[in-house]
């Protein structure tokens, strides 16, 4: 592996967590990745995949987060959503401080396996740290010239974030 850039050198290595065997396959050809049955997620340069989270019943988008190999593995093993916080550089299980857990009903992977989509049963009043059901509560108006002003949609707060998190977010 010497002489290769780190990303190229590690491209085909299996992800192995301490004291555990990785459930992820090595990435194969484009055909194998796009048409095969092996789960071989493509982590970005920071070791993350994007995770789109929707409500299993309504189909509404609740949030977008990131998962590293450990968060992805824990989500698969437990059926509870676990993410990687880029700002805190640590794992976080959704709902561990708020009680607003997410039980995963289904997980899908996109065609080139660099993003996952989880359908969840959202426990508690919402998924967003601002106190709303969804993180997507503002719309960008289309077809208008000039400065863009966001429009609030489905923006009512469903819980008080300072009461839930014990501090102002």
Q: d(Cα 85, Cα 92) in Å, to the nearest integer?
A: 7
The DSSP code for 132 is B
Q: d(Cα 58, Cα 24) in Å, to the nearest integer?
A: 30
Q: d(Cα 50, Cα 39) in Å, to the nearest integer?
A: 15
State pLDDT tens for residues 66-85. 999 999 999 999 999 999 99
15 touches 27 (CB < 8 A): no
Domains, the chain, with CATH or none: 43-165 (3.10.20.810)
Contacting residues for 96 by C-beta, under 8 A, at least 6 apart: none
State pLDDT tens for residues 2-34. 343 444 333 334 444 455 677 899 999 999 999
Coil, helix or strand for 162? Answer: helix
Hey, how many other C-beta atoms are within 10 angstroms of the C-beta on 66? 19
């Amino acid at each position: 592996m010497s002489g290769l850039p780190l990303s190229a050198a590690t491209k085909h290595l299996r992800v192995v967590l301490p004291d555990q065997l990785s459930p992820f396959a090595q990435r194969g050809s484009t055909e194998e990745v796009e048409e095969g049955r092996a789960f071989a997620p493509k982590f970005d340069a920071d070791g993350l995949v994007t995770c789109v989270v929707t409500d299993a019943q309504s189909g509404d988008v609740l949030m977008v987060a990131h998962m590293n190999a450990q968060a992805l593995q824990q989500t698969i093993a437990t059926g509870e959503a676990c993410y990687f916080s880029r700002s805190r550089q640590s794992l976080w299980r959704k709902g561990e401080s708020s009680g607003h857990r997410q039980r995963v009903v289904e997980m899908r992977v996109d065609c080139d396996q660099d993003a996952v989509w989880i359908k969840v049963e959202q426990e508690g009043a919402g998924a967003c740290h601002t106190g709303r059901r969804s993180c997507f509560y503002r719309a960008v108006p289309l077809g208008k010239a000039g400065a863009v002003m966001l429009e609030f949609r489905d923006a009512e707060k469903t819980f008080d974030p300072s009461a839930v998190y014990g501090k102002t977010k």
